[in-house]
Structure 1
């Protein structure tokens, strides 16, 4: 299996499958493929099967269904495109685990497991809201994810902390501790425009921060959309 990520602000992921190889992708991610590569919509996949497993994957931000692409008798190409300006990144698990924003996963090999990453403290679970739902990706294979805008990586030293607006948390290694902290000051909360909560990431481990979020893009485009009949 070989992969290539090309393009700039709207990148394309192309994966060349050898005969007999398969990958699993979120439904709706497919862009184009070789004609002889088969598509199969399945409920099992990403390490989950059965009703509980499928619901767990859906809660993590994945769908109830996934698509398996298989090259049967000869090699073939499958391509996926980015839905918002940003980057597509490739990661080799090798027994490690990553936590990714809930719409980040694009595709992965059959030995990648996706599950809901429950928050590590009561504050995150109660106050974090939908934006703090994370995908945990583990196993021994490769996966590809989509991050919005520019991507800034940083290696946190043990005990080093950084406070991040929730939407800008792209992904991080499982060794990084994830907590919720409240923005200080009543005036900041009410008039600052940044919400009430921040994500606090504590090292050791690598983090990937994204400069654009889907909600931020939608907010920026709203003044130009107009209304029906204009």
Structure 2
């Protein structure tokens, strides 16, 4: 299996080239093109009924996924996110477990375990509607950012504070705390104005634009 990120950074897509019987998984609606030799199957996730219950609290259902499987070598599938921006590859064998805001992952290999995260301090964002996903295992996943995708190393000597509307993903094991901050734009516009502080050793991924404004859920 080979991957290529194309048309970046402002309108990035990811193309997977598959050998026979190899698969790649994506959110429903992410497909742009596929070879005729690549079959698609949309199915419910392991979240099952639990995911359906959570859908009442979230605009991102995350209870279905589409599996693309090549019937012969050389089949391709091109996948893209809803919003314009960059795509970045993460190898979970290197990073360990990663938490991602719902809607922030466009594709992943079958050896990635994807599930919802509940009842954690980092799971309550400014919109009040976003779910946090967990990516685990030893596979590859592709994060999609609105705008450019930046990563920032966090160390015990160098904590980082992120405006929650720009927060995309972070490695598991970081110390996460949330507080109001008058410097962020949502406070200036009458919103909650929260930031998240990360401490410890790990990495944070950030998107340079605010997707909540485009989706109409940000403060105006």
Residue of structure 2 in register with 1:176 after alignment: 174
Pairing of 1:15-164 with structure 2 (within 5 A): 15-44=16-45, 48=46, 50-52=48-50, 61-94=60-93, 96-121=96-121, 130=128, 133-158=131-156, 160-164=158-162
- Note closer, same or farther for the CA distance 1:55–1:98 as it changes in structure 2 (3 Å cut): farther
Q: TM-score w.r.t. structure 1 length? A: 0.79
1:128 deviates by: 5.6
Distance 2:209 2:53 in 1: 28
1:50 deviates by: 4.6
- Note closer, same or farther for the CA distance 1:41–1:82 as it changes in structure 2 (3 Å cut): closer
Secondary structure at 2:145's aligned position in 1?
strand
Residue of structure 1 in register with 2:194 after alignment: 197
Structure holding more helix per residue: 1
1:17-76 deviation line (CA, Å, top 9, x unaligned): 1101011111010100101110111114xxx26534676799784532211110123330
Distance 1:147 1:50 in 2: 27
Secondary structure at 1:201's aligned position in 2?
strand
User: 8 Å contact 1:131–1:166 — kept in the other structure?
Assistant: no
User: 8 Å contact 1:105–1:143 — kept in the other structure?
Assistant: yes
Distance 1:207 1:49 in 2: 26
Greater displacement, 60-69 / 169-178: 60-69
Q: Mark the structure with the bigger radius of gyration.
A: 1
- Note closer, same or farther for the CA distance 1:152–1:146 as it changes in structure 2 (3 Å cut): same
- Note closer, same or farther for the CA distance 1:4–1:128 as it changes in structure 2 (3 Å cut): same
2:211 to 209, 214, 230: 214
User: 8 Å contact 1:38–1:69 — kept in the other structure?
Assistant: yes
Greater displacement, 59-68 / 71-80: 59-68
- Note closer, same or farther for the CA distance 1:38–1:24 as it changes in structure 2 (3 Å cut): same
1:178 deviates by: 2.1
Residue of structure 1 in register with 2:6 after alignment: 6
Q: Any gaps of 5 or more consecutive residues in structure 2?
A: none
User: 8 Å contact 2:170–2:205 — kept in the other structure?
Assistant: yes
